[in-house]
Amino acid sequence: MVHVMVMGHGGLPAGIESASAMILGAQENFHVVSLLPEDTPEAFTERVEGVLGTIGPDEEVLFLVDVKGGTPSNVAARFVNSRRRCVTGANLPMVLDVLLNRSSGATVSELVKGCVDAGSAGVLDFSAEIDEMRSKMG
């Protein structure tokens, strides 16, 4: 199973983890690495290396990072290779999509494509949809 590593600022990674567990139950091969306010980039990099050290080098890993251009994404970039891929803009629809699809044996590349679509599709003007629904109800 592809390992998932959620990386981001402050409480976001742990928040995504607890939210996912509420919806889909506790997950295995699921790691979070948080950038704390007092961290240097080097300290954060060491923690990422520590987690990757517990994962075999032949395993596939999907980094889900909160925002492109932040320190977590700049650090994740260094670890990207053919088996370790990275998607930014991590949100709950994206993470749930990955967790639902990886148990069927999807490769990391397949998961990347699906979760970019799921993460993007989850962003919409819901109130506009509600307005339309109400107008159809008459």
**89 sits near another protein (criterion: CB under 8 A):** no
| DSSP H/E element including 3 | strand 3-9
Of 94, 97, 96, the residue nearest 123 (C-alpha)? 94
Return the number of the residue (35 or 106) whose C-beta is nearest another protein. Answer: 35
Coil, strand or helix: which one is 35?
strand
**57 sits near another protein (criterion: CB under 8 A):** no
Q: Single out the catalytic residue among 1, 6, 9, 51.
A: 9
Subset of 59-78 contacting another protein (CB under 8 A): 67-71, 73-74, 77-78
How far apart are CB 38 and another protein at their closest, in Å? 4
How many residues bind another protein (CB under 8 A)? The answer is 15
Tell me, yes or no, if 3 is annotated catalytic: no
How far apart are CB 39 and another protein at their closest, in Å? 5
Q: Return d(Cα 16, Cα 127) in angstroms, integer.
A: 24
Annotate each residue in 15-44 with x if it binds another protein (CB under 8 A) or - if it does not, as one string.
----------------------xxxxx-x-
Query: 77: Cβ–Cβ under 8 A, 6 or more apart, which residues?
Result: 86
Mind giving me the DSSP string for 47-97? HHHHHHHTS-TTS-EEEEESSTTSHHHHHHHHH--SSEEEEES--HHHHHH
Site residues (vs another protein, CB under 8 A): 37-41, 43, 67-71, 73-74, 77-78
